[in-house]
């Protein structure tokens, strides 16, 4: 194995994993070690890799042929069973980062008179003479003092740190892990949070801001969503629901006990709750129940430049940004009468000063809120669409169904965690 003498774990997370042919087979998500004693350096057993379908697998270090600052190479012979952590194993990012520890010896280093207290923000591994990898150094940050934004940092030998082998419990925060999670896509962060021990998951959820937690919740299995929401205080749960898209919030609230659902709806901002209640009034698995109530709506006097400015919003999904809807006032759903829709691809070919109303697709029919899931699928397929308007009997725009909304409802109920149920013990 050709590798640097020392590798810091925080820099490994997110790196691509390649097979011998140079094809990417996954990404690094964590490091698995066997803890012994505080005096003995833990042996690195392997990596937690994330492969297709967000499945997490175990990659033994005996299968790793090269580790460097930008990539990890393996022999290509990987067991695709889902990773299951054993009681004798510790996850470095999930369970060691943010742990509170002490360094006897004070500012002068080990052997001095004082004691440094801080939290772990990184760990280094090295390859020994036996070719085994071990954790060798610990990066610790002291709490901020006085006007300093960040506390002093120390990188010391593993044996010089106390508090490494006890359970994290109340002494473990979430700062370093949050940094890693914030670098991930919501779906990847959801998978990592799902795999955390309960007390660690609670600490991370408590530390995430409402908007980020909402993004992650939208990517979690229903059971995880309900469990996390039920452990939040009602005020914060309502705030998080407000940050979620209305259709995802409606689906989640529908899974809660009715009395809990009503409390949270009452605590939400009236306008946000109104959209959620409206979606919950439709029959399950119909266009009305799965639609998004906030498509890009324009007035009849809007120009192509106006439309393109609105779809630049990074919070819009690609599917939702594919169409704009020209309506009579009011321009919030339910709108005035829908005049028509325009494809962004068509608008890109028009002068910016052109009216959007002059570039409408007049060949497309609209969906009704009672349309079944099969009818919605057939409609999108017939017109080669990734998004379609939903209107009432009077032609008012109620919302839009996107292809991702449709897939969410067509896939099995447990599709987000199917990989979790197909795993087994690794060999």
Number of other CB atoms surrounding residue 104 within 10 Å: 15
Is 145:153 a contact under the CB 8 Å cutoff? no
- The structure tokens listed for 315 are 């919070």
Give 112's pLDDT tier (boundaries 50, 70, 90).
Answer: low
Number of other CB atoms surrounding residue 209 within 10 Å: 12
pLDDT of residue 367 exceeding 90:
yes
Residue 217: burial class (beta carbons within 10 Å; 0-12, 13-18, 19+): buried
pLDDT of residue 425 exceeding 50:
no
Is 395:377 a contact under the CB 8 Å cutoff? no
In degrees and rounded to multiples of 5, residue 371 shows phi and psi of: -60, 135
Number of other CB atoms surrounding residue 59 within 10 Å: 25
Give 419's pLDDT tier (boundaries 50, 70, 90).
Answer: very low
Give 78's pLDDT tier (boundaries 50, 70, 90).
Answer: confident
pLDDT of residue 417 exceeding 80:
no
pLDDT of residue 51 exceeding 90:
no
Give 46's pLDDT tier (boundaries 50, 70, 90).
Answer: very high
The pLDDT score that the predictor gives to residue 408 is 86
Where does 350-426 show beta strands of DSSP type E? 387-391, 397-402
Question: 76-80, 280-284, 405-409: lowest mean pLDDT where?
Answer: 76-80
Percentage above 90 pLDDT, the chain: 61
Give the Cα separation of 355 and 250 in Å (integer): 35
208-242: per-residue pLDDT in tens?
Answer: 999 999 999 999 988 899 999 999 999 999 999 99
Percentage above 70 pLDDT, the chain: 90
pLDDT of residue 342 exceeding 60:
yes
For residue 177, which of 157, 155, 206 has the smallest C-alpha distance? Answer: 206
pLDDT of residue 366 exceeding 80:
yes
The pLDDT score that the predictor gives to residue 107 is 53
The pLDDT score that the predictor gives to residue 36 is 78
301-316: per-residue pLDDT in tens?
Answer: 999 999 999 999 988 9
């Amino acid at each position: 194995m050709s590798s640097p003498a020392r590798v810091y774990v925080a820099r490994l997370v997110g790196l691509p994993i390649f097979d011998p042919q140079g094809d990417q087979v996954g990404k690094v998500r964590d490091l698995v070690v066997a803890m012994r004693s505080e005096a003995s350096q833990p042996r690195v057993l392997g990596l937690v890799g994330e492969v297709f379908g967000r499945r997490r697998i175990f990659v033994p270090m005996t299968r790793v042929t090269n580790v460097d600052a930008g990539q990890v190479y393996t022999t290509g012979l990987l067991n695709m069973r889902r990773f299951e952590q054993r009681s004798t194993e510790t996850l470095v990012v999930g369970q060691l980062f943010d742990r509170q520890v002490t360094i006897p010896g004070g500012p002068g280093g080990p052997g001095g008179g004082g004691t440094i207290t801080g939290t772990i923000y990184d760990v280094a591994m090295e390859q020994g003479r036996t070719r085994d990898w071990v954790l060798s150094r610990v990066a610790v940050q002291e709490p901020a003092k006085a006007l300093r934004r960040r506390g002093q940092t120390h990188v010391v030998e593993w044996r010089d740190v106390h508090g490494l082998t006890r359970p994290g419990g109340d002494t473990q925060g979430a700062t370093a892990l949050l940094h890693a999670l914030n670098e991930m896509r919501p779906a990847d962060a959801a998978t990592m949070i799902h795999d955390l021990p309960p007390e660690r998951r609670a600490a991370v959820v408590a530390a995430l801001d409402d908007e980020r937690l909402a993004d992650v919740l939208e990517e979690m299995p229903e059971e995880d969503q309900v469990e996390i929401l039920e452990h939040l205080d009602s005020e914060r749960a309502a705030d998080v629901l407000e940050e979620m898209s209305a259709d995802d919030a409606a689906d989640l609230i529908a899974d809660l006990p009715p009395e809990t659902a009503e409390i949270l709806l009452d605590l939400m901002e009236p306008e946000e709750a109104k959209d959620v209640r409206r979606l919950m009034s439709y029959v399950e698995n119909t266009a009305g129940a799965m639609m998004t109530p906030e498509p890009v709506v324009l007035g009849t006097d809007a120009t192509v430049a106006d439309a393109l400015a609105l779809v630049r919003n990074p919070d819009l999904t690609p599917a939702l940004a594919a169409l704009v809807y020209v309506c009579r006032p009011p321009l919030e759903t339910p709108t005035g009468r829908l005049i028509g829709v325009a494809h962004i691809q068509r608008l890109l070919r028009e002068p910016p000063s052109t009216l959007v109303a002059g570039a409408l697709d007049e060949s497309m029919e609209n969906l009704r809120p009672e349309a079944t899931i099969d009818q919605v699928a057939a409609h999108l397929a017939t017109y080669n669409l990734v998004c379609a308007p939903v209107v009432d009997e009077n032609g008012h725009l109620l919302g839009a169904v996107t292809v991702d909304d449709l897939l969410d409802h067509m896939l099995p109920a447990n599709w987000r965690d199917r990989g979790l149920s197909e795993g087994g013990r690794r060999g």
